Amino acid sequence: MPGILRERAAGPRRLAFRFLADGTSDEAADWTYHDVYEHAGRIAADLLDRELTGRRVVLALDPGLHYIAALFGIFRAGATAVPSFPPTGKRAVARFASIVVDSAPDVIIADRRLESRVAQFTAELPATVRAPEWLFVDDQYFLGFLGAAPGRVIPDAVSDPALLQYTSGSTGDPKGIVLTHENLVSNCRALEHNMGYEADRVGCTWLPPYHDMGLMGTIMLAVHGGWPLVLMSPAHFVQQPYRWLKAITDHKVTISVGPNFAFDMCTSGITDDELETLDLSTLRQVFCGSEPVSRVTLDKFRERFGPRGYDETSLIPCYGLAEATLYVSGKPTGTPLRTERLDKEALENGVVRRSGEASGEPGQVAHVVSCGTVADGHEVTVVDPETLLPVPAGRVGEIWVSGPNVAQGYLGRPDLTAATFTARTAGDDGRTHLRTGDLGFLLDGELFITGRLKDLVVIAGRNLYPQDIELTVRQAHEQVRGCAAFSVPGEQGEQLVVAAEYRGTARRLAAEGAAVLDAVIAAVTAEHGVRPAVHFGPVGAIPMTTSGKVRRDATRKAYLQGTLRTLSPVTDDTPQAVR
Ligand code: 649
């Protein structure tokens, strides 16, 4: 990656990044590739002074141009970047600490405004951990340096670790995905194969720069392709989704991206007056991935924004995961959206059966949107997770991926790495595969995602780990014993449910129930930012495996069927919206 930036910087002075500092076009800051290269040189020189080639550097800056400079500075110094969010807020600090402990960096790069909080943060680290050094960055930091000779340039070693991505893994069990420069470049090439070449491409993103989609999907892709990218911070988008579409309008953006929930936010969160100011007719590619792509969402988005120039052919449902750097599949550019109407009950049993036009109540039909064709140079095999044999056509199974986007593994976790990244089918097709933990099927060479084997709970685009939530619940009140956290479909997307075992009689729960309920709701809301529905049952109500693991899927099924044993009347079973 650093070689590509060097090449771009040596070319004509063209716009690389435009950061909308306040989320609008009023405060736009522009950098050319040359600017990026020079600012990166300042960071690289600092890291080289500390002899950090081959070492790890946590990148915890706010979204913005400095983030990009620091990322490429780390690459230029030949160090491994560990992209993170800034450690502000209780939950973020705990998660940040777990990343620092796992990745053992020599340096953390953070905004100068965090300088006064370092002591507080360091107190969170276990005593056994060597405290990393902090490098604080602000505008001043770069002044006086620009124009000076950049630091030594380390030649690209393509198979060296470039980046550690902490997208997956709970706070109690972080997993750092090791990506090489080869992985990063391969991911860009695979996406470019899908996107094709366009001379006048302009991108726009508000995605967090510390996750796979914002980092490998937008920032690196723009540098690799050499086209300008308009950026704003995720907070500015979430506060006012209008800003995203206005930026597309103002800067004649041709390519953008968002998870399904972002399209929902736009449909319901933009006023008629705001709508009048939008022109989305320049958009030729809009990627939608990272959570299930809903036909209902896309229909509503088209109805609302079609009159403002949005053409649904530009929408690209796509699928990927950080363990495969990012990209696994996407709709080929220029083709119509494809949705299959399937028999819902058959699908739940793993069978893909088209539902006839006439037959079936609406509730018995599942509308599944195609996530397109598999990335160039890659292969997807759909495998029965029990027998490890590839499933016959027309069956749902676990999605296994092979190809150059597949990462090297999880840092310091050889067993888990072997099981996840180098799996072999029972028939052994001579290849190793990444087990994604996602369920889906292939139809006419297109990939459809239907569910997930792993228990991850995704609410409004946030990945919540059931084991983290369960820990919070068990600690919330002494009368809570076992518990299971899972999600169920609600009126406003997925809703979090906590099923908890209460150590006591129904009579006692009736007496103190409100206090226990409040304690659980308050703890989960404070720790995880989502208000759960809570179901209380007696001890033994939650299904367990013989080895004592919570069977979340069985608990969820029993809850939905109404067969989960209960201790009424304090159960608050009404799912609540995300706060
Ligand atoms: C998925 C990332 C897929 C993810 C994105 C291509 C400017 C504008 C646009 C642009 C460039 C500049 O969620 C992303 C490919 C973007 C090109 C942009 O181009 N990674 S993750 O590791 O955080 O989570 C992975 C899990 O999310 C779920 C699966 O469970 C997966 O294991 N997931 C999906 N579930 C259902 N349907 C989908 N389509 C899903 N995609 C991811």
**Res 154: pLDDT:** 58
Look at residue 574 and tell me whether its pLDDT is greater than 50: no
What's phi and psi for 578, nearest 5 deg? -70, 140
To which residue do tokens 């759960």 refer?
Answer: 532
Tell whether ligand 1 has an atom less than 6 A from the beta carbon of residue 242.
Answer: no
Tell whether ligand 1 has an atom less than 6 A from the beta carbon of residue 256.
Answer: yes
Look at residue 229 and tell me whether its pLDDT is greater than 70: yes
Q: 428: pLDDT confidence band, cut at 50, 70 and 90?
A: confident
Which segment of 86-90, 99-103, 200-204, 314-318 scores lowest on mean pLDDT?
86-90
Q: What is the mean pLDDT of residues 449-461?
A: 80
State in Å: Cα 329 to ligand 1 middle.
9
Q: 157: pLDDT confidence band, cut at 50, 70 and 90?
A: low
Q: Which comes out higher in pLDDT, residue 102 or 569?
A: 102
Q: How far apart are the C-alpha atoms of 34 and 121, rounded to whole Å?
A: 35
**Res 187: pLDDT:** 98
| Four-residue CA torsion sign, 534, 535, 538, 540 | negative
**Res 346: pLDDT:** 86
Atom 18 of ligand 1, residue of closest alpha carbon: 217
Q: What is the pLDDT of residues 174-227, one digit of tens each?
A: 899 999 999 999 999 999 999 999 999 999 999 999 999 999 999 999 999 999
State in Å: Cα 319 to ligand 1 middle.
5
Q: How far apart are the C-alpha atoms of 25 and 204, rounded to whole Å?
A: 12
Tell whether ligand 1 has an atom less than 6 A from the beta carbon of residue 371.
Answer: yes
Q: What is the mean pLDDT of residues 327-346?
A: 93
Q: What is the pLDDT of residues 115-146, one digit of tens each?
A: 998 888 888 888 888 889 999 999 999 987 66
Mutation to probe ligand 1, out of 177, 319, 396, 465 (largest number of atoms < 8 A from CB): 319
What is this structure's pTM? Answer: 0.85
CB atoms inside a 10 Å sphere around CB 34: 17
Look at residue 167 and tell me whether its pLDDT is greater than 80: no
**Res 123: pLDDT:** 83
Atom 41 of ligand 1, residue of closest alpha carbon: 290
Q: What is the mean pLDDT of residues 415-430?
A: 93
Give the three-class secondary structure for 84.
coil
**Res 3: pLDDT:** 86
Tell whether ligand 1 has an atom less than 6 A from the beta carbon of residue 255.
Answer: yes
What percent of the chain clears pLDDT 90, i.e. is strictly above it? 66
Integer-rounded Cα Rg, in Å, for the chain is 24
To which residue do tokens 């160039």 refer?
Answer: 376
Atom 31 of ligand 1, residue of closest alpha carbon: 321
State in Å: Cα 263 to ligand 1 middle.
14
Look at residue 571 and tell me whether its pLDDT is greater than 50: no
**Closest to 411 (Cα-Cα) out of 129, 65, 169:** 169
Which segment of 150-164, 208-222, 380-394 scores lowest on mean pLDDT?
150-164
Q: What is the pLDDT of residues 60-95, one digit of tens each?
A: 999 999 999 999 999 999 999 999 999 887 778 888
Look at residue 28 and tell me whether its pLDDT is greater than 60: yes
State in Å: Cα 50 to ligand 1 middle.
36
Which run of H or E residues covers position 329? strand 327-330
Atom 36 of ligand 1, residue of closest alpha carbon: 292
Give the three-class secondary structure for 297.
helix
Tell whether ligand 1 has an atom less than 6 A from the beta carbon of residue 322.
Answer: yes
Contacts of 406 (CB under 8 A, 6+ apart): 183, 323, 324, 325, 421, 434
Q: In what order do the strands lie in the sheet with 397-402?
A: 379-383, 397-402, 434-443, 446-452
**Res 147: pLDDT:** 57
**Res 577: pLDDT:** 35
State in Å: Cα 321 to ligand 1 middle.
6
Q: How far apart are the C-alpha atoms of 353 and 349, rounded to whole Å?
A: 11
**Res 362: pLDDT:** 58
Tell whether ligand 1 has an atom less than 6 A from the beta carbon of residue 214.
Answer: no
User: CA dist 431 to 311, 397, 415, Å?
Assistant: 40, 18, 18
User: CA dist 402 to 186, 205, 216, 280, 484, Å?
Assistant: 13, 28, 18, 36, 33
Q: What is the mean pLDDT of residues 285-296?
A: 92
State in Å: Cα 469 to ligand 1 middle.
24
Which segment of 90-94, 310-314, 392-396, 543-547 scores lowest on mean pLDDT?
543-547
Count CA atoms closer than 13 A to 267's CA, side-chain side. 16
Q: Complex ipTM, two decimals?
A: 0.99
Q: What is the pLDDT of residues 42-51, one digit of tens each?
A: 999 999 999 9
Which segment of 326-335, 378-387, 448-457 scores lowest on mean pLDDT?
448-457
Question: Which amino acid is residue 235, in one-letter code?
Answer: A
To which residue do tokens 């109805």 refer?
Answer: 303
Atom 13 of ligand 1, residue of closest alpha carbon: 290
State in Å: Cα 489 to ligand 1 middle.
20
**Cβ density class 353-376: b for 16+ within 10 Å, e for less:** eebeeeeeeeeebbbbbbbbbbbe
**Res 275: pLDDT:** 98
State the burial class of residue 3 (Cβ atoms within 10 Å of its Cβ: 0-12, 13-18, 19+).
middle
Q: 169: pLDDT confidence band, cut at 50, 70 and 90?
A: low
Q: What is the mean pLDDT of residues 336-352?
A: 89
Q: What is the mean pLDDT of residues 565-578?
A: 54
**Helix ranges (DSSP H) in 145-271:** 181-195, 212-214, 220-225, 234-239, 242-250, 260-269
**Helix ranges (DSSP H) in 226-364:** 234-239, 242-250, 260-269, 272-276, 295-305, 344-348
Look at residue 448 and tell me whether its pLDDT is greater than 60: yes
Tell whether ligand 1 has an atom less than 6 A from the beta carbon of residue 151.
Answer: no
Look at residue 488 and tell me whether its pLDDT is greater than 70: yes
DSSP state of 215: I
Q: Which comes out higher in pLDDT, residue 566 or 578?
A: 566
Which segment of 203-212, 379-388, 397-406, 502-511 scores lowest on mean pLDDT?
502-511
Q: How far apart are the C-alpha atoms of 134 and 84, rounded to whole Å?
A: 14
Tell whether ligand 1 has an atom less than 6 A from the beta carbon of residue 283.
Answer: no
Q: 358: pLDDT confidence band, cut at 50, 70 and 90?
A: low
Tell whether ligand 1 has an atom less than 6 A from the beta carbon of residue 436.
Answer: yes
Count CA atoms closer than 13 A to 328's CA, side-chain side. 28
| Closest atom of ligand 1 relative to the 285 alpha carbon | 9
What percent of the chain clears pLDDT 70, i.e. is strictly above it? 92
Select the highest-mean-pLDDT range: 303-317, 355-369, 508-522. 303-317
Strand partners, 97: none
Mean pLDDT of the chain: 89
**Closest to 107 (Cα-Cα) out of 41, 55, 183:** 55
**Res 472: pLDDT:** 87
